[in-house]
Structure 1
Amino acid sequence: MNTSSSGLKSLFQKILKNKWVQGVIVLGFFAVLGLVGLYISIYFGVFGKVPSIEEISSIKQEQATQLLDKDQKLMGKYYIYDRQPVVFEDFPKHLIEALVATEDSRFYEHDGIDNISLMRVFVKNLILQDKSAGGGSTITLQLAKNLYGRKNYAMFSMLINKFKESIVAKRIETVYSKNEILTLYLNTVPFSDNTYGIESASLKFFNKSVNDLTVVEAATLVGTLKANSYYNPRVHLERSRDRRNVVLDQMKNYGYLSEDSLSFYAAKPLELDYRSFNHDVGLAPYFRAEVKKQLEKILDTLKTPDGDKYDLYKDGLIVHTTLDYKMQELAEQAMKEHMKPLQAAFEKSYGASGPWEVNSKVLQSEINKLPQVKAYKAQGLTAQQIKDSLNLKRPVDLFRWKGDTLQQVSAIDSIKHYLKFLNTGMLAIEPTTGAVRSYIGGIDYRYFKYDHVAQSERQVGSTFKPFVYTAAIDEGLNPCSYFSLNKVTYTDYEDWTPSNAGAKEEDPYINYTLEKALSNSVNTISVKVLEEVGIPKVIAQVKKLGITKKMPEEPSLALGVAQINLKELTGAYASYLNKSKAVKPYYITKIEDKSGRVIAQFEPKVAEEQAYSDYTRQVLLEMMQSTVNSGTATRLRQTYGLTNAIAGKTGTTQNNKDGWFVGLTPHLVTVTWVGNDNHSIGFKSTGMGQGANSALPIFAKFYQKLNKDADYKAITQAKFEEPSDEVVLTMDCEPTKRDGFIKRLFKKKEKKKKFH
């Protein structure tokens, strides 16, 4: 025994005397010394400041601003990182179990560092120079990385970052309890599709809050943490399902699931209810974009309690809006259901001779507006070289009603493609307050950013006529006054002769009451009514209704040549349901900080004074009900079967460029517009382009959907106010009257005169 021990000792001494062994020992000593020195230098901030315990104690996470509808339903967010924090009590037990079993099985036992795993990573980096070496990360270490990120150093980046994270992790464990660490982690960890935090991921992939996640849904989200792009369930459904089952298996291994439960859950298909909060898609993107513009202006005027400016993208604000989530969904459905077939009919009507086709002046004009054309000209390229460059094809995502498609197209192809599309705008507001309930700025925000509610100004056509009649009635014109259908040429306006829509010639000896003329949108009489009341008084009336655009002082004003913003038009029409007072449509009711403290509040903007009398309001409301019951909007009754109390006005502009419909029900004002973004492109025919065909169906389909939803009975079953006895009496007359023989004898079919 002694001989053996002596031999081993001798062998050991001999080995130690070996120069190579001595070198390895020295190298190992200096390596350990280097590691210690590196750790100390990191600890004292040589490689950048390490967050102190005090800083860790007051962790400030960036949070997305939430946009809520009128009933507090989340409808959108503004963020750089899509993060929405929740508290520990909101986490279902199986979510925590899935996380711990998969990411850090000894989480409740260690103090933030798994030393064995961490040493393995250090050795791989130092000795094997394996830069891809992973592992060793506890939940606390991952939290440290999530909170403070990593930097790229010239050498040993992974090692330095791991040391820093270990220091931070130790401090986190000192400051926070295990439950608090889990809460911080789940609120900061990145999931698929640039989503930060479990609540945001839960809402995005399963359209539910985290506390409602099932076992398989929780396992799916936890599974993506290994590689959130590779296991993205939206993109790689089967791959994500396999990873989910690995998580479920881990839960079984650590006693969180039984064998039977594992079999049950693993057999389930992976079903998503994906809901993107991307700024360009999702519900009401035009509304969200417009609210964002307003928020940026509002926040410029506010300060945090610390005196800093609020950050829309990071401060976790809660913005309460007027929008009705479900009503917006129904409005968007109605719009799409109508615009898709209308677009097909529009293209078919032009055939191969559309204004977007090759060699058309419209197309060439749009090509000349391209920034690259100006750049090419500045470079001295010839016309042929410019044309060749614009004809180069590249893969482009194109909007189509039957589904987006990736195609090889040139710049010219792209212009032709988008020139042909009809667009739309729609706004529905509460008439007594101006609260916006639904808002559609265009057919698809991804491809058509221009907002036809907030930005666009278009000729409003016959939707302007009620304002002319309002001024006339308010000035004392009797509703039973009769005006002739006959045409008049106004010599002081370049012999302008307004005519009525339709091919057949009207009987010049027929006279209409104001109600009949307005409900049938008779142009010749509208101009005569304007002449009767006077242009200045009509313009003054329009200003009282909150329309700020300067009006053209000419007879064609009666036919709606003025270009008016849809939002202002809607607010003006609200006056017929709001005691003759116009409103200003508004979107935001209040803004709270992330703690729920109200930092701004907004009230409805209603005109202080009546724009016209109660008598006038009731008369106009009766006239516009006739438009629906027997005038230009009868297809609401006949085609769409709507029995609601509805007043309305159709509108069509010259050359069928714009189609309008204004729908009034007791508790909702809805305005729809349809046309081409290019003002020079109109409908091929009046039959297709008139407001009753192009814009009215959106309203009609919208109300069909509202009628089927019991939640909107208060809107759909409401009745208009009963007109006063005075209104009933003054409107009790025959709608038409034909001139007698003597008057016909001396009356010319067409006469010329100056406009007074």
Structure 2
Amino acid sequence: MEDTNKNNEKPKPENSKEESHYEAAGYGFNDDEIPDGEVVSGEGLIDQGEPPKSDNGFDLEKQRSNVDILEEGFKKHRSIKKYVLIFWAIIVIIALGVGFMFFGISMGWFGFMPSFEELENPQTFLASEIYSHDNKLLGTYYVENRSKIYYHNISPYITDALVATEDVRYNDHSGIDVKALGRVLFGALSGQDKGGGSTITQQLAKNLFPREYNQSKLELAFRKFKEWVIAVKLEKRYSKEEIITMYLNKFDFLNLAVGIKSASRVYFSTTPAQLDLNQSALLVGMVKNPSLYNPLRRPELARDRRNTVLSQMEKYGYISGEVADSVKQLPLGLVFQKVDHNIGTATYFKEFLRGEIKQWCNEHLKPNGEPYDLYRDGLRIYTTIDSRLQKYAEEAVTDHLSLDLQPAFYAHWKGRKYAPFVFEPDTIKPQVKKIMGQAMRRSERYRKLKLAEIGPDSIETIFNTPAHMVVFSWEGDIDTIMTPMDSIRYFKFFLHSGLMSVDPPTGQVRAYVGGIDYRYFKYDHVTQGRRQVGSTFKPFLYT
């Protein structure tokens, strides 16, 4: 039996499709197709009292809610995607900006950047060294008291201590230690002191090309970036051994000890190759802050810092715990030798030699066409002086004058009003005044007062006013108070002498003593003193 309802159905067009829920809800109908009593909203939804349902029983309101949820999800997805794209765009822009900045720094767009030649041959002032005939160092001429040393002549204790304390990943990085920078950044954000992040190579870059003073924070930040670039360039051009050697040669250990060779000599009277663990740890400890850990001025702090270096060496396996603990109990062991042109061996000879070598420098040119610089070019000057004979000669002059002649001279002039001057009674007073006036005008004190534009009357008053001073004596320096005029007369009492010893077959000078103490008496009785020809026979006559 056929369903009678089928006869009432209208045939569908061939292209018609099943009615969708949207169509059932009123989407897609023309106005004349809307059933009576129904109102369609602007969005095509049916607006009537009861929630509409489709012919197949679906809840159209609920269906619309699901569609809204889907649309909201799509919107959120698009929003998240947009933020992700913005985030990565910012990252790329920052990366490009940083890359451009470092490229500009390396090209010198943001200030000074050393050239290839300057990196290959960094400017380092080296002291010229004077050696005796028996190969002993007599002294140096310098602007910076630095002597060059090579890696194989440096004690392993020094290099191990430096790496363990200043840059434990020195052999693994290429100038910049990313882990150390991360540690410093974390410390800055957390307010904790996590130590420094500069590598040995970065410190070398700072020492080779020092920062300018009075820089702003922005300039200092750019300077730090420049040091990173220089450090990377140094790593490309030099081996690790060369970099650490350059660093040790460049560092200023104070007390006129620039570089590890001078520091070894000044603080311990030894060479870099002979430095022991205790000495090495002390010198490396000064690297952090040489003024703060100066062993001469702050021995307690220097010892604590030395022990910190030893602990670092133990921590990273360079020494055992037993060795570290035993060395920590040792004293600093300083054997300090002050660097001063006025003291030491052959002081008068070195001053005479200075003039001779300066003349030689002016007459000889370097490969680049410039004359040699006695104070910066690190010349090695070999002399005929024998250090042993020089020592004996200086001792002989000191003993002969201080033990024999000077006491006899004092005894002879004791109690005499115008001592030590000898003139006729009627002329002695003006003669003494003349001599004292000449001595006053030749003094350093007088020259300084004249430069300060002090008048003659005021100068005379100053020279007759008691002042604190240190004066020479054969028993040692005397810290006293006297007038400058009295000090001039006091120094007139001392006898002087000169000595030069020559090797007869060759004519080479083996010993040279120009006076009794170069600190107080600059006059050289060997080369500046003038004697009659007959006086040359006196040494043979009186000996």
* TM-score > 0.5 by shorter chain: yes
Instruction: Report the aligned-residue RMSD.
Output: 3.9
Find the counterpart in structure 2 of residue 530 from structure 1. none
Q: Name whichever structure is richer in strand by fraction.
A: 1
Shift of 1:460: 6.8
Aligned ranges 1:106-117 → 2 under 5 Å: 106-115=169-178, 117=180
1:437–1:172 CA distance, 2 compared to 1 (3 A): same
SS of structure 2 residue aligned to 1:422: coil
Pick from 251, 262, 271: which aligns with 2:333?
271
2:371 & 2:453 partners in 1: Cα distance? 45
* CA contact 2:126–2:377 (8 Å) conserved in 1: yes
Aligned ranges 1:498-509 → 2 under 5 Å: none
Find the counterpart in structure 2 of residue 349 from structure 1. 412
Pick from 270, 282, 285: which aligns with 2:344?
282
Letter in 2 for 1:439: Y
Aligned ranges 1:619-634 → 2 under 5 Å: none
**Percent identity over paired residues:** 37
2:361 & 2:150 partners in 1: Cα distance? 27
Find the counterpart in structure 2 of residue 135 from structure 1. 196
1:330–1:172 CA distance, 2 compared to 1 (3 A): same
* CA contact 2:141–2:375 (8 Å) conserved in 1: yes
Find the counterpart in structure 1 of residue 508 from structure 2. 435
Shift of 1:249: 2.1
Shift of 1:406: 3.8
**Deviation by residue 1:528-572 (Cα, 9 ceiling, x = unmatched):** xxxxxxxxxxxxxxxxxxxxxxxxxxxxxxxxxxxxxxxxxxxxx
1:343 & 1:380 partners in 2: Cα distance? 37
Letter in 2 for 1:649: L
Pick from 420, 434, 443: which aligns with 1:365?
434
1:127 & 1:274 partners in 2: Cα distance? 43
Pick from 398, 401, 407: which aligns with 2:471?
398
1:47–1:352 CA distance, 2 compared to 1 (3 A): farther
1:354 & 1:120 partners in 2: Cα distance? 78
The answer to whether residue 176 in structure 2 is matched with residue 148 in structure 1 is no
1:255–1:415 CA distance, 2 compared to 1 (3 A): same
1:339–1:87 CA distance, 2 compared to 1 (3 A): same
1:319 & 1:382 partners in 2: Cα distance? 45
SS of structure 1 residue aligned to 2:289: coil
* CA contact 2:514–2:523 (8 Å) conserved in 1: yes
Letter in 1 for 2:163: V
SS of structure 2 residue aligned to 1:195: coil
1:415 & 1:124 partners in 2: Cα distance? 63
1:380–1:269 CA distance, 2 compared to 1 (3 A): closer
1:97–1:354 CA distance, 2 compared to 1 (3 A): farther
1:446–1:227 CA distance, 2 compared to 1 (3 A): farther
Count residues with an aligned counterpart: 444
Find the counterpart in structure 1 of residue 36 from structure 2. none
The answer to whether residue 146 in structure 2 is matched with residue 83 in structure 1 is yes
Find the counterpart in structure 1 of residue 133 from structure 2. 70
1:361 & 1:114 partners in 2: Cα distance? 77
SS of structure 2 residue aligned to 1:407: strand
1:209 & 1:339 partners in 2: Cα distance? 36
* CA contact 1:356–1:363 (8 Å) conserved in 2: no
Find the counterpart in structure 2 of residue 332 from structure 1. 394
Find the counterpart in structure 1 of residue 524 from structure 2. 451
1:373–1:194 CA distance, 2 compared to 1 (3 A): closer
Shift of 1:386: 4.7
Q: Flag structure 2 segments of 5+ consecutive residues without an equivalent.
A: 1-75, 80-90, 422-427
Pick from 295, 306, 309: which aligns with 1:233?
295
SS of structure 1 residue aligned to 2:378: coil
Find the counterpart in structure 2 of residue 191 from structure 1. 253
1:275 & 1:402 partners in 2: Cα distance? 20
The 10-residue stretch of structure 1 (177-186 or 36-45) with the greater mean CA deviation from structure 2: 36-45
The answer to whether residue 286 in structure 2 is matched with residue 224 in structure 1 is yes
1:455–1:119 CA distance, 2 compared to 1 (3 A): farther
Aligned ranges 1:645-656 → 2 under 5 Å: 648-650=540-542
Letter in 2 for 1:450: Y
Shift of 1:268: 1.9
Find the counterpart in structure 2 of residue 607 from structure 1. none
SS of structure 2 residue aligned to 1:304: coil
1:382–1:262 CA distance, 2 compared to 1 (3 A): closer
Shift of 1:181: 1.0
Aligned ranges 1:658-697 → 2 under 5 Å: none
2:214 & 2:98 partners in 1: Cα distance? 16
Letter in 1 for 2:321: E
Pick from 21, 46, 49: which aligns with 2:112?
49
Find the counterpart in structure 2 of residue 171 from structure 1. 233
SS of structure 2 residue aligned to 1:291: helix
2:240 & 2:168 partners in 1: Cα distance? 13
Find the counterpart in structure 2 of residue 543 from structure 1. none
* CA contact 2:256–2:339 (8 Å) conserved in 1: no
1:37 & 1:367 partners in 2: Cα distance? 73
1:251 & 1:373 partners in 2: Cα distance? 56
The answer to whether residue 131 in structure 2 is matched with residue 58 in structure 1 is no
SS of structure 2 residue aligned to 1:424: coil
TM-score normalised according to structure 2 size: 0.72
1:416–1:30 CA distance, 2 compared to 1 (3 A): farther
Aligned ranges 1:523-562 → 2 under 5 Å: none
**Deviation by residue 1:654-691 (Cα, 9 ceiling, x = unmatched):** xxxxxxxxx5xxxxxxxxxxxxxxxxxxxxxxxxxxxx
* CA contact 2:361–2:371 (8 Å) conserved in 1: yes
Shift of 1:158: 3.2
**Deviation by residue 1:371-413 (Cα, 9 ceiling, x = unmatched):** 477978x989685x55422233444332222222443443223
SS of structure 2 residue aligned to 1:458: coil
Shift of 1:277: 4.2
1:410–1:174 CA distance, 2 compared to 1 (3 A): same
Letter in 1 for 2:493: K
1:243 & 1:211 partners in 2: Cα distance? 22
Please tell me whether Structure 1 or Structure 2 has the larger radius of gyration of its CA atoms: 2
Pick from 207, 220, 244: which aligns with 2:269?
207
Find the counterpart in structure 2 of residue 407 from structure 1. 480
1:380–1:229 CA distance, 2 compared to 1 (3 A): closer
* CA contact 1:356–1:419 (8 Å) conserved in 2: no
1:263 & 1:30 partners in 2: Cα distance? 53
1:461–1:149 CA distance, 2 compared to 1 (3 A): same
Letter in 2 for 1:424: S
Q: Flag structure 1 segments of 5+ consecutive residues without an equivalent.
A: 1-9, 14-27, 466-572, 574-647, 651-662, 664-756
* CA contact 1:192–1:224 (8 Å) conserved in 2: no
1:405 & 1:31 partners in 2: Cα distance? 69
Shift of 1:231: 2.8
Find the counterpart in structure 1 of residue 161 from structure 2. 98
Find the counterpart in structure 2 of residue 301 from structure 1. 363
1:347–1:29 CA distance, 2 compared to 1 (3 A): farther
